[in-house]
Structure 1
Amino acid sequence: MRFTIDPKRFAEAVAWTAKSIPTRPALPVLAGLMLRVSDARLTLSTFDYEVSHEVTLDVAGASDGACLVSGRLVNEIAKALPAKRVEVSSAGQHLELLCGAGRFTLPAMPAEDYPTLPTTPFPVGAVDASAFAAAVARVAVAAGRDDALPLLTGIRLEIAGDRLTMLATDRYRLGLVEISWATTNPDARIDALVPAKTLHDTAKTLGPLGGAVALSFTGGRPGEGLLGLTAGPRRTTTRLLDPTNYPPMRNLLPATALHQACFHVATLVDAVKRVALVAERTAPIVLTLTTDGLRIDAGGTEQAHASETMDATYAGTDLSIGFNPQYLLDGLSQVGSPHAVLSVIDPHKPAVIDPADVDGHAIPGYRYMLMPIRISR
């Protein structure tokens, strides 16, 4: 195997594929990066039986062949190469990289032991890459991070015709976003649970590249299917989680609210950050809603205390409601508009944050539901 390639293209391709290399692989070959050349096209791939990444590039001076080497080592080398053409070749049990005055010789792993990457069927539809990345980020903040509860570490994808809905929850909050997309089958109805970290990392990388992301699904028993994401020469597959027993958190979204406050998002974010400085790790911050505006409090009478007021348009009776400050900030960071509306039924039931226009009218497309923390007054 032999090829020549621009160092920047090579580094970007290696970085993309190296994303799925496990820190502690079950088998040594799963720490490898497969380089395969065929018909003057280089394919780089990694696979750990859960997630695969693959990219195909045109190369010069190519001769066919394949070589499997340490993915993390190639990634570190590729990032450090000077801005000169890279010559890569395999000979025997080694891979050699030449770039300028530098020469790197890496031991090869047995390529015949490397698992075959999964294939993806015809896409169900495609969505703008930047819109997809933004939508995933908006719900990923609410996904669980406890691997002991894998069900809650996923993002649920619900496809119905030209609407793509994503939601995630860790039982204490819920992020829900709905976007339009170009479907290949208007009658398609799909409900899949995707690992949030993989989906977020992949979408975050694909978003700035522009273009569209095509989504493919394979069936199987719950928890055994695959999601395929294809954007130009890049392709990712990830195993789906078992959606059985996923909590029906959407049912908690209130149809109406007795109390609504419209506020400037950046002003509240800054105030919460300042006031939360005196709060203990598990202590809530308290929002007090009145017709005079919004007051943010943290701390108690016998410890450090902070309070700040800000303008807000409020409809309802006076009330106080407590929230985990970080959970509140996570939701506010994804509102995506200068103003938002906080809707509350009562201080002991879930509250909802919606993006809003300057007049306080909710803008559809994103909702963030947050469970309150009981406070004593």
Structure 2
Amino acid sequence: MDQTVSFTVPKDDLASALAWVARSLPSKPTQPILRGVLIDATDSGLVLSGFDREVSTRVKINAEVMETGSLLVAGKLASDIVGSLPNKPITMEYQGSTVLLTCGSSRFELPPMTIEDYPPLPDLPEVTGTIDPHLFQEAIGQVAIAAGKDDTLPMLTGIRMEIDGDNVVLAATDRFRLAVRTFTWNPSTADAQAELLIPARTLADTARSMGVHGSEPVSIAVGASGNIGREGLLGISTESRHTTTRLLDADFPKFRPLLPKTHTSMASVAIEPLQDAIRRVSLVADRNSQIRMNFEPGVLTLSAGGSDVGSAEEQLDCGFAGEPLTIAFNPTYLKEGLAAVHSQRVVFGFTQPSRPAILIPEQPDLPESDEEGNFPTPATEFTYLLMPVRLPG
């Protein structure tokens, strides 16, 4: 006799859960079965799962379950259908040959997928430590923007995580910029040590979801004691959601030597008016190629263009100390860096117009220069290092 499954669930809960699981599913899977979302209906509610053999996701939601059991349906289709439905309770019934989904006057029949062929999800490694979900979301978001998107360079598509007791350092780079964030967390053991390379897109999606959907601490699971990272698997979990992903087996570039310890000049600029000015001036930048910034005491002059599309110039107040300079940046990378700084003002540190500059959160005061006229890099939890664009001529 065919198994039957039947349950009723609030629309918003099911839509949110399906969207989260479906987002991790491959659009062109190596096996069609991996397009599926597995729905386990139990006496305590529903568990929705997805797995593409690299990333697994699992989420628990409350539901009124009339008949327990499991069913497998095409994930992205089910997510699209449920997301389009009115805000009314949704009932799903599976009777062996059809999955019937009803909501108000809407009715859909979906073909079930063969559940016996679905691969088992990996178990979470032992928990390595916990972190506040909002801090987790913020820190990952700040560095993920700098991660590379070219899969032929896998070492640049990841976020490096260095664990040293209760200190964590995150870093990502695409060769044109580097983002580094430090924070403290609650390790399971005080002597926890690890160096991991985690796929940036999966980590960013998971951190965003955990930060939005929960207030309880997020558990990071890569093993405990001497086994941290040995399984090659990262688990991230809260009470209701968990995900796993394979770690990247690649060597992340040595990034610390890239961070300058001193600067020949430093500037402090209010971020919001700077972002607005960049948006306006870059309208005439050739194919978004560069925006020029001329720094001198009290004044920052932005300019772009100069060819057939015209030119633009705008001035802003700025705090400045050191040697005046003109430097050019890719406006998209500059705007993304400014958005990641998370303070009202940004502090720039410069060495030469042809060398990378740093962007860090605002400081109470710009540092004093030493006897040689150099400014030490202030202590900061976040640094965005940005390569300049070559100035014409």
TM-score higher than 0.5: yes
1:257 pairs with one of 230, 248, 263 = 263
Residue aligning to 1:288: 294
CA–CA distance in structure 2, aligned partners of residues 318 and 80 of structure 1: 56
Q: Distance in 1 between matches of 2:366 and 2:273?
A: 16
Query: Post-superposition shift, 1:249?
Result: 2.5
Aligned twin of 1:331: 337
Alignment pair present for 1:86 and 2:102: no
CA contact (8 A) 1:161 1:183 kept: yes
Task: Name the structure 1 match of 2:361.
Answer: 355
Structure 1 range deviating more: 129-138 or 32-41: 32-41
| Cα contact 1:162–1:183 (8 A) shared by 2 | yes
Matched AA of 1:267: P
Contact 2:222–2:229 (CA under 8 A) maintained in structure 1: no
Measure the CA separation in 2 of the matches of 1:305 and 1:100. 57
Rounded to whole Å, the distance in 2 between the matches of 1:364 and 1:191 is: 21
Listed one character per residue, the Cα deviations across residues 79-111 of structure 1 (whole Å, up to 9, x for unaligned) are 133333322221112212232333322111110
Describe the SS at the equivalent of 2:34: helix
Query: Is the CA contact (8 Å cut-off) linking 1:357 and 1:363 kept in structure 2?
Result: no
1:142/1:173 contact within 8 Å kept? yes
Bigger Cα displacement from structure 2, 95-104 vs 20-29: 95-104
- From 10, 13, 26, the equivalent of 2:30 is 26
Instruction: Give yes or no for the alignment of 1:372 onto 2:388.
Output: yes
Who is 1:212 aligned against?
217
Q: CA RMSD in A?
A: 2.2
Q: How far is 1:195 from its partner?
A: 1.1
Q: Which residue of 2 aligns with 1:17?
A: 21
Match of 1:41 in 2: 45
1:30-60 CA distance string (max 9 Å, x none): 0111111233432110111111111123332
Identity value in percent: 40
Contact 1:178 1:365 in 2 (8 A): yes
Distance 1:58 1:37 in 2: 10
SS in 1 for 2:341: coil
Aligned-pair distance for 1:300?
3.4
The one of 270, 273, 277 aligned to 1:271: 277
Aligned 8 A contact 2:267 2:349 in 1: yes
Gapped regions of structure 2 (runs ≥ 5): 368-377
Mean Cα deviation higher: 216-225 or 359-368 = 216-225
Q: Structure 1 residue 163: deviation in Å?
A: 1.6
Q: Relative to structure 1, is the Cα distance of residues 88 and 288 closer, same or farther in structure 2, using a 3 angstrom cutoff? A: same
Match of 2:375 in 1: none
Instruction: Give the aligned residue type for 2:306.
Output: G
1:1-377 pair list within 5 angstroms: 1-209=5-213, 210-217=215-222, 225-244=232-251, 246-281=252-287, 283-300=289-306, 304-357=310-363, 359-360=365-366, 362=378, 364-377=380-393
How far residue 128 of structure 1 moved from its aligned partner, in angstroms, is 1.0
CA distance in structure 2 between the partners assigned to 1:87 and 1:282 by the alignment? 50
Q: Give TM-score, length-normalised by structure 1.
A: 0.94
CA shift in 2, pair 1:7/1:82, >3 Å: same
- The residue identity in structure 2 corresponding to 1:334 is A
Aligned-partner Cα distance in 1 for 2:76–2:230: 29
Q: State the shift of 1:302 in Å.
A: 7.4
Unaligned runs of 5+ in 1: none
- 1:233-280 per-residue CA deviation (whole Å, 9 max, x = no partner) reads 111111111232x21122110111111111111122122221111111
Give the Cα separation in 1 of the matches to 2:118 and 2:228. 25
Residue 136 of structure 1 aligns with an amino acid whose one-letter code is: I
Q: How many matched pairs?
A: 376
2:373 alignment counterpart: none
1:346-374 residue CA offsets vs partner (Å, 9 max, x unmatched): 11211101111353465621100011122
> What is the CA–CA distance in structure 2 between the aligned matches of 1:290 and 1:103, rounded to whole Å?
66
Find the aligned partners of 1:149 and 1:270 in 2 and give their Cα distance. Answer: 34
